[in-house]
């Protein structure tokens, strides 16, 4: 039996998966995000650790001693905090990947953005680690002395959880790729990036491969043997370890993922990172990230005063048409435009019609997906159907994506591809296939050229 913790933006899930790849137990604990002001989105890392600890205990209690072979951890990416080296207690809140409070910090380094991209594979953005580090240093001056005294660590939520679970402050290749401090070519901390952002190496976790023995978990008799970013795990769960594989995963955020093979490929507007690594082997990923997927509908619940039970966005979007366009700015736009938080844009929308707003919001996810796929399609490959997984892979969205991209979109019944990807890594059964029913969404309707043109105009107005 393999125990997997899938730690996401709004909840933490646990899975027990047997040797045949069948999920035999599943649990979930939700947690909240705080938004104290515009562009500020944060969470309590200790609360999340306690959820992980409880889920591990619940999972173990359901099976006889010794049944669990190992633990694997997939985690939301680009969520960063400071914590105490000795007590492993958070010193700050964890700034979510959606948080863009450091956008003014980013402006200081604009002249270096091309060099940063070539070194790290990342566009210069407040969503990543280094700007968040500098913003917290500015906001909380007491951190400077703690850093000088070598008492704290700065790193992603995954490293904090790894440290708390095993006593060892490690960071895996996939999430180190989200720091703006990681040399994508050497897979090590970049001394030049550390110097640019004035970050001492001593404050950072130690880099390790994704598949690695991170150490014994708490007081249990098994070890943590995989730590990976959730989107990377999703592509692996979709059988994406073959070069040129493409997949989509729709959760709180969404990603369009392309396996670029043994060499990093830098594509302007997209993110390059490590897809998978173990001793003496590294596979790279080119990715387009959409910040607002399911989180967009949580946002609509708030601004439209709709309860979570009554949101049911997929049902609201079915058989609903709109000639308008909605672009949300609460978490900014990531790929391929990289614009920090801004005011929501409503174009040709009846603001008194909630369902029309929600439909236009859903379509915005499809527009961004199309923009990203168009960039990926410039790579030499032949796309013949794209697998879509995740809780946000609902029929109305997938129909729209099929129409706008002119691609067949394949939706397997099994949605938990992230956990399945971690299982593959832990078990070494990378070629295992689970027979599940699937639905194929084929292009049926044409998206008007005028609407596509207007989308481009509105995006250009934001960028400028």
pLDDT at 341: 80
Look at residue 414 in the predicted model and tell me its pLDDT. 76
Q: How many whole angstroms separate alpha carbon 232 and alpha carbon 174?
A: 7
* Residue in the block written with tokens 């706008």: 404
The answer to whether 30 and 39 are in contact (CB under 8 A) is no
CA distance 36 to 44: 13
Helix, strand, coil fractions of the chain, as percent rounded to 5: 35, 25, 40
Task: Sort 391 into a burial class: Cβ within 10 Å, 0-12 / 13-18 / 19+.
Answer: middle
Q: Tell me how far apart the alpha carbons of residues 208 and 170 are, in angstroms, rounded to a whole number.
A: 7
Q: What is the pLDDT of residues 322-332, one digit of tens each?
A: 999 999 998 88
**For the segment 70-90, what is each residue's pLDDT rounded down to a tens digit?**
999 999 999 999 999 999 999
Query: Does the structure show a pLDDT above 60 at 382?
Result: no
Strands (E), 313-414: 325-327, 345-347, 386-389, 409-412
pLDDT of 412-436, one tens digit each?
A: 887 788 999 999 999 999 888 777 7
Burial (Cβ within 10 Å: 0-12, 13-18, ≥19) of residue 64: exposed
Residue 241's alpha-carbon distances to 137, 284, 285, 432, in angstroms, are 39, 10, 10, 12
Asked if residues 439 and 15 have their Cβ atoms less than 8 Å apart, the reply is no
Going from N- to C-terminal start, the domains of the chain cover 2-229
d(CA 411, CA 388): 5
Mean pLDDT of 395-419: 91
Is residue 25 predicted with pLDDT exceeding 60?
Answer: yes
**pLDDT for 266-284, tens place per residue?**
999 999 999 999 998 999 9
Give the pairing of strands 182-183 and 70-75: unpaired
Q: Which of 381-385, 437-441, 447-451 has the lowest mean pLDDT?
A: 381-385
pLDDT digits (tens, 9 = 90+) for 52-62: 999 999 999 98
Strand, helix or coil for residue 449: helix
- pLDDT in the model for residue 380: 45
Query: Which CATH class name applies to 2-229?
Result: alpha beta
Is the pLDDT confidence value at 383 over 50?
Answer: yes
pLDDT tens digits, residue range 225-281? 999 999 999 999 988 899 988 999 998 899 999 999 999 999 999 999 999 999 989
DSSP 93: P
10 Å CB burial of residue 255 (0-12, 13-18, 19+) is buried
């Amino acid at each position: 039996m393999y125990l997997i913790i899938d730690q996401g933006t709004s909840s933490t899930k646990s899975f027990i998966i047997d040797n045949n790849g069948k999920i035999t137990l599943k649990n979930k604990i939700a947690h909240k995000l705080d938004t104290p002001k515009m562009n500020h989105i944060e969470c309590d890392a200790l609360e999340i650790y306690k959820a992980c600890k409880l889920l591990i205990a619940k999972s173990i209690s359901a099976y006889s001693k010794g049944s669990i072979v190992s633990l694997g951890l997939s985690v939301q990416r680009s969520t960063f905090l400071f914590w105490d080296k000795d007590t492993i207690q958070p010193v700050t809140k964890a700034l979510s990947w959606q948080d863009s409070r450091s956008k003014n910090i980013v402006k200081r380094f604009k002249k270096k953005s091309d060099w940063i991209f070539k070194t790290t594979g990342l566009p210069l953005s407040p969503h990543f680690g280094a700007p968040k580090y500098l913003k917290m240093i500015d906001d909380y001056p007491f951190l400077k002395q703690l850093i000088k005294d070598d008492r704290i660590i700065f790193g992603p939520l995954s490293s904090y959880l790894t440290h708390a679970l095993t006593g060892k402050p490690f960071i895996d290749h996939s999430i180190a790729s989200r720091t703006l401090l990681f040399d994508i070519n050497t897979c090590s901390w970049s001394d030049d990036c550390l110097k640019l952002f004035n970050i001492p190496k001593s404050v950072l976790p130690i880099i390790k491969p994704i598949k690695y023995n991170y150490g014994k978990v708490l007081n249990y008799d098994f070890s943590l043997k995989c730590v990976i970013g959730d989107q990377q795990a999703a592509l692996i769960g979709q059988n994406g370890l073959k070069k040129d594989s493409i997949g989509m995963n729709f959760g709180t955020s969404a990603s369009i993922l392309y396996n670029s093979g043994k060499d990093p490929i830098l594509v302007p507007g997209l993110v390059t990172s490590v897809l998978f690594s173990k001793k003496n082997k590294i596979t790279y990923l080119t990715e387009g990230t959409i910040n607002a997927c399911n989180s967009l509908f949580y946002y609509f619940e708030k601004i439209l005063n709709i309860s979570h039970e009554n949101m049911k966005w997929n049902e609201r979007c079915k058989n609903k048409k709109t000639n308008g366009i909605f672009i949300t700015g609460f978490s900014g736009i990531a790929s391929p435009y990289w614009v920090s938080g801004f005011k929501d844009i409503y174009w040709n929308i009846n603001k008194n019609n909630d369902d029309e707003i929600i439909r236009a919001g859903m379509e915005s996810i499809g527009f961004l997906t199309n923009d990203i796929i168009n960039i990926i399609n410039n790579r030499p490959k032949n796309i013949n159907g794209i697998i879509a997984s995740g809780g946000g892979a609902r029929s109305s969205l997938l129909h729209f994506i099929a129409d706008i991209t002119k691609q067949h979109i394949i939706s397997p019944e099994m949605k938990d591809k992230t956990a399945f990807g971690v299982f593959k890594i832990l078990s070494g059964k990378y070629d295992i296939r689970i027979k599940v029913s699937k639905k194929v969404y084929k292009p049926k309707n044409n998206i008007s050229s005028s609407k596509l043109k207007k989308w481009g105009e509105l995006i250009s107005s934001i960028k400028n």
